[in-house]
Amino acid sequence: MATATEVHGAHAPGHHVEESWVRHYLFSTDHKIIAMQYMFSGIFMAVIAGFFAYAFRMQIAFPNADVPFFGLVSPGVYNALITNHGAIMIFWFAMPVLLAAFGNYLIPLMLGADDMVFPRLNRLSYQVFFVSIVVLLASFFVPGGAFGGAWTMYPPLSAKGAYSLTPLGSTLFVSAVGLEFVAFLMGGINFITTAMNSRAPGMKLYDVPLVIWMIVIASVLFMASVGPLIAGAVMLVFDQQVGTAFFDPDRGGDPILWQHLFWFFGHPEVYVVLLPTLGIVAEVITTFARKKMFAYRTVLYTVFGTGVLSFTVWAHHQFVAGIDPRMANIFTITTLLISVPIAEMLFVYIATLYGGSITLSVPMLWALSFIGTFLVGGVTGIFLGASGSDIYLHDTYFVLAHFHYTFFPIAIIGGFAGITYWFPKMFGRMMNETLGKVHFWISIVALNCIWMPLFVLGTAGDHRRIYNYSHFPDLWRPELHNIRVFATVATVVFFLAQILFFYNFFRSMFRGPHAEKNPWRANTLEWTTESPPPHGNWPPDAMPSVYRGPYEYGHPDRKDDFWPQNVPA
């Protein structure tokens, strides 16, 4: 079975080669290992970014006091903390975990394939991603310190060292983001080609599980939107280092151009991270409600529509930025329009519960709470998409509360739903349900205690990116500051609760009860192989074929309440 040498092109497909430990874990081309690399990198970065949030929330609540385990948060440090918190959470946590980790893990397994189509390109994409992490972390230690001009990097602040006071950090930051983009473009190649071409025999497009569709569409959205920003990032680095003036108004440049390039990507980007979570939630709720997905095709068409519309809304981030005021009306219309397919999708998910038989397992708790919390995020977006009210609410904590009520469900709740659901498959062990439930309840209550009050603070006038509200007499009132302190306490509680998750995660990985192939009695193909799957996922002569869609739960002709895709009729 093992061969010591490889003759180019002479291997039979699926032929296994013995690997050393280093080869296996660090330089593997196996999609499952690469998925784990992305997942653990993402979680590691989330811990860092979460710690930053702890530090800056403590500064807001107790200004100029030493933050335990951190030290003093000066204005410059505060700006660097919030900037890197935001950038890390989006580019180095949400995307790697939701898109790259789950995409890499699930696409071949759910499609009945043995790996991605281009395994070596896949490995290269992670290596480029890894370099982007190194570059970003390096920016914290260079003279001048980390970049502090917000994750949006608006010039002229980001373009001139004299303004930002972080000349080196700024360039490293932009470069890290650019490298991350390149890594994900490379990853997208595998996702698209594998999903289109490597489906199991018999698997038609409408038999593909929703999470795979969502990840593929997200990859397309990413690819179609990131190009102008890559061009913009090159232009920004040139402004920073080479003396060009693309964004320098003193020399004929236009800072608003950057904003357009950024947000043309920035808005589709939120759907890039939303779609994988919508997919994860679809898989979890169908499995634990034992119920066929309501109107699968409607979900798909709605996603296509949302994807297309997402390219038409970007300037709602720029209503008061100095764009022609007439343009704002167009973007108000498109932004409110996009709320319609999103609402439809959430209604479809809720409708899926009707007639089901719901078990509140830990993954189901997370998946359901995604729906409940994302609804809040979705409706509060209306306040900001409507130009008339955005005049007031722009750059206030209302915006922060809105996007955390969308990003938290997307990245954290969706991430936990996916991890707790596929943990048995990934690691061959079961997580502890009781610990999982305690972790869930504390986290959910804490998260709502952090973010719900911040809508009030935003409405009261708290503006963003302010390290110390004592400078603003109208805002330095006990009834407002008590809310800030309350939110900070809830933040600390949330962090501490994650210890429960990490304990559960690592302990279960090594000492949890062994998992069978299909502990959740689900239909999709990943549950037909071992937990964890071997290299190649199935024996080469026993690759699955597909006979039906992925959501045949509760079918009247069946004795069992589920009907796996690979069981012949």
Partner 1 sequence: MFNLPEIWVPAASTSASDIDFVYSLIFWIVGFWLLLSEAVFFWLIFRFRRRDGVRTQYITGELKSEKKWITYPHLLVLVCDVFIVVAAVRVWYDVKQALPPAEQTVRLVAQQWAWSFVHPGPDAELDTADDIKTVDELHLRTGTRYHFKLEARDVLHSFSVPAFRLKQDAIPGRVITGWFEPTKPGTYDIQCAEICGIGHALMPARLVVETPEQHAAWMASQAPPVSLAAHAAPRAQE
Partner 2 sequence: MSARPIATTRSAAGMPTGRLAVWWLVASEVVIFGGLLASYIMFRLAHDAFGEQAAHTNTWIGAFNTLVLLTSSLSAVLAHQAAERGDGPKAARLLWVTILGGATFLVVKAFEWTSEIQHGFTISSNTFWSFYYTAAGLHASHVLAGAIAMAFVAKDAAMNRDLHRVELVGIYWHFVDVVWIFLFPLLYIAK
Q: Which does 534 bind (CB under 5 to 8 A by kind): partner 2, partner 1, none?
A: none
The binder of partner 2 chosen from 26, 72, 251, 379 (CB under 8 A): 251
Q: Which does 519 bind (CB under 5 to 8 A by kind): partner 2, partner 1, none?
A: none
Among the listed ranges 51-59, 187-195, 470-478, 506-514, the one in contact with partner 2 (CB under 8 A) is 187-195
Q: Report long-range pairs for 481-485 (Cβ below 8 Å, ≥24 apart).
A: 481/61, 483/453, 483/454, 483/456, 483/457, 484/60, 484/61, 484/457, 485/61, 485/62
> Is residue 344 at the binding interface for partner 2, with CB under 8 A as the rule?
no
Nearest-approach distance from CB 358 to partner 2, in angstroms: 35
> Is residue 228 at the binding interface for partner 2, with CB under 8 A as the rule?
yes
Buried b (16+ CB within 10 A) or exposed e, 259-284: bbbbbbbbbbbbbbbbbbbbbbbbbb
> Is residue 471 at the binding interface for partner 2, with CB under 8 A as the rule?
no
The binder of partner 2 chosen from 127, 244, 448, 459 (CB under 8 A): 244
Report the 3 state secondary structure along 405-454: HHHHHHHHHHHHHHHHHHHHHHHCECCCHHHHHHHHHHHHHHHHHHHHHH
Residue 552 to residue 181: CA distance in whole angstroms? 38
> Is residue 145 at the binding interface for partner 2, with CB under 8 A as the rule?
no
> Is residue 22 at the binding interface for partner 2, with CB under 8 A as the rule?
no
Residue 491 to residue 66: CA distance in whole angstroms? 17
Nearest-approach distance from CB 516 to partner 2, in angstroms: 25
Nearest-approach distance from CB 143 to partner 2, in angstroms: 24
Cβ 156 vs Cβ 249: under 8 Å = yes
- Which of residues 46 and 543 has its CB atom nearest to partner 2 in the complex? 543
Residue 274 to residue 296: CA distance in whole angstroms? 17
Q: Which does 330 bind (CB under 5 to 8 A by kind): partner 2, partner 1, none?
A: none
- Which of residues 234 and 485 has its CB atom nearest to partner 2 in the complex? 234
The binder of partner 2 chosen from 67, 234, 430, 500 (CB under 8 A): 234
Q: From the CB of residue 477, how many other CB atoms can be counted at a distance below 10 Å?
A: 12
Residue 355 to residue 475: CA distance in whole angstroms? 50
The binder of partner 2 chosen from 1, 2, 12, 22 (CB under 8 A): 12
Q: Which does 229 bind (CB under 5 to 8 A by kind): partner 1, partner 2, none?
A: partner 2
The binder of partner 2 chosen from 42, 86, 156, 188 (CB under 8 A): 188
Instruction: Quickly tell me which residue has 């679809």 as its tokens.
Output: 282
> Is residue 194 at the binding interface for partner 2, with CB under 8 A as the rule?
yes
> Is residue 203 at the binding interface for partner 2, with CB under 8 A as the rule?
yes
- Which of residues 134 and 360 has its CB atom nearest to partner 1 in the complex? 360
Q: Which does 504 bind (CB under 5 to 8 A by kind): partner 1, partner 2, none?
A: none
Is 67 in a helix, a strand, or coil? strand
Residue 108 to residue 96: CA distance in whole angstroms? 17
Nearest-approach distance from CB 475 to partner 1, in angstroms: 7
Under rule CB under 8 A, which residues in 88-127 are in contact with partner 2?
108, 113-119
Residue 158 to residue 63: CA distance in whole angstroms? 26
> Is residue 70 at the binding interface for partner 2, with CB under 8 A as the rule?
no
> Is residue 177 at the binding interface for partner 2, with CB under 8 A as the rule?
no
Rg of the Cα atoms in the chain: 24
The binder of partner 2 chosen from 67, 137, 192, 323 (CB under 8 A): 192
Q: Two tokens at 293?
A: 């997905």
Cβ 81 vs Cβ 56: under 8 Å = yes
> Is residue 24 at the binding interface for partner 2, with CB under 8 A as the rule?
no
Going by C-alpha positions, the residue among 410, 408, 485, 416 that lies closest to residue 453 is 485
Nearest-approach distance from CB 95 to partner 2, in angstroms: 16
Residue 250, class by beta-carbon neighbours within 10 Å (0-12 exposed, 13-18 middle, 19+ buried)? exposed
> Is residue 11 at the binding interface for partner 2, with CB under 8 A as the rule?
yes
The Cα-based distances of 176 to 15, 36, 92, 194, 461 in angstroms read 37, 21, 10, 28, 34
Nearest-approach distance from CB 249 to partner 2, in angstroms: 11
Q: Which does 79 bind (CB under 5 to 8 A by kind): partner 2, partner 1, none?
A: partner 1
Going by C-alpha positions, the residue among 301, 316, 231, 218 that lies closest to residue 267 is 316
Q: Which positions ≥6 away from 554 have C-beta within 8 Å? A: 290, 291, 292, 355, 356, 357, 561
Nearest-approach distance from CB 538 to partner 1, in angstroms: 29
Under rule CB under 8 A, which residues in 270-329 are in contact with partner 2?
none
Is 553 in a helix, a strand, or coil? strand
Under rule CB under 8 A, which residues in 431-470 are in contact with partner 2?
none
Q: Two tokens at 220?
A: 């397309």
Residue 105 to residue 191: CA distance in whole angstroms? 11
Nearest-approach distance from CB 239 to partner 2, in angstroms: 9
- Which of residues 127 and 459 has its CB atom nearest to partner 1 in the complex? 459
Nearest-approach distance from CB 281 to partner 1, in angstroms: 13
Q: Which does 15 bind (CB under 5 to 8 A by kind): partner 2, partner 1, none?
A: partner 2
Q: How many residues bind partner 2 (CB under 8 A)?
A: 59
- Which of residues 163 and 238 has its CB atom nearest to partner 1 in the complex? 163
Is 124 in a helix, a strand, or coil? helix
Q: Which does 108 bind (CB under 5 to 8 A by kind): partner 2, partner 1, none?
A: partner 2
> Is residue 47 at the binding interface for partner 2, with CB under 8 A as the rule?
no
Going by C-alpha positions, the residue among 287, 314, 335, 294 that lies closest to residue 523 is 287
**E strand or H helix at 369, and its extent?**
helix 362-385
Q: Positive or negative CA dihedral for 239, 243, 244, 250?
A: positive
Nearest-approach distance from CB 369 to partner 1, in angstroms: 10
Binding site for partner 2 (CB under 8 A): 6, 8-9, 11-17, 29-30, 108, 113-119, 185, 188-189, 192-194, 196-199, 203, 223-232, 234-235, 238, 242-246, 251-254, 257, 261, 264, 536, 540, 543
